[in-house]
Structure 1
Amino acid sequence: TGLNLKVMKSILANAEFHGIEINRKAYEILKVWGGGKAYHQSILDFKSRIKFDFVYTKGVLIHINPDQLSRVYETLYRSSKKYICIIEYYNPKPVEVPYRRHRNKLFKRDFAGEMLDKYHDLNLESYGFVYHRDKHLPQDDLTWFLLKKK
Structure 2
Amino acid sequence: MHDPVDTWAGDFGDAYTERCSAEESRIRKRTRMWARWLDSFGSREPRSILEVGCNLGLNQRALQQLTDAELFAVEPNDSARQTVLSDGVMDEAHIRAGRGEDLPFDTASMELVFTNGVLIHVHPDNLGQVADEMYRVSSRYILVSEYFNAEPVELEYRGLSGHLWKRDFAGFFLDRFSDLEVVTDGFLWKRTIGIDNATWALMEKRA
TM-score band, normalised by shorter chain: over 0.9
Match 2:195 to one of 123, 139, 149: 139
Match 2:160 to one of 89, 92, 102: 102
Question: Which residue is equivalent to 1:65?
Answer: 123
Q: Does 1:16 align with 2:16?
A: no
2:112–2:141 contact (8 Å) kept in structure 1: yes
RMSD: 1.2
2:96–2:104 contact (8 Å) kept in structure 1: no
Match 1:39 to one of 78, 96, 105: 96
The one-character-per-residue Cα deviations of 1:74-104 (angstroms, maximum 9, x if unpaired) are 0110011111000110111000001001111
Aligned-pair distance for 1:47?
3.0
Structure 2: unaligned runs, 5 residues or longer = 1-53
Identity among equivalent positions (%) equals 35
Give TM-score, length-normalised by structure 1. Answer: 0.93
Match 1:74 to one of 132, 135, 138: 132
Aligned-pair distance for 1:62?
0.4
The one-character-per-residue Cα deviations of 1:100-146 (angstroms, maximum 9, x if unpaired) are 01111001111110110110100011111111111xx3101111100
Give TM-score, length-normalised by structure 2. Answer: 0.68
Letter in 2 for 1:140: D
2:98–2:104 contact (8 Å) kept in structure 1: no
Q: Does 1:25 align with 2:79?
A: yes
Structure 1: unaligned runs, 5 residues or longer = none
> Higher strand proportion, which one?
1
In 2, the alpha carbon distance for the partners of 1:42 and 1:119 equals: 21
In 1, the alpha carbon distance for the partners of 2:148 and 2:201 equals: 10
In 2, the alpha carbon distance for the partners of 1:3 and 1:34 equals: 9
In 1, the alpha carbon distance for the partners of 2:135 and 2:98 equals: 18
> Higher helix proportion, which one?
2
In 2, the alpha carbon distance for the partners of 1:93 and 1:76 equals: 22
In 1, the alpha carbon distance for the partners of 2:191 and 2:202 equals: 23
Q: What is the aligned length?
A: 147
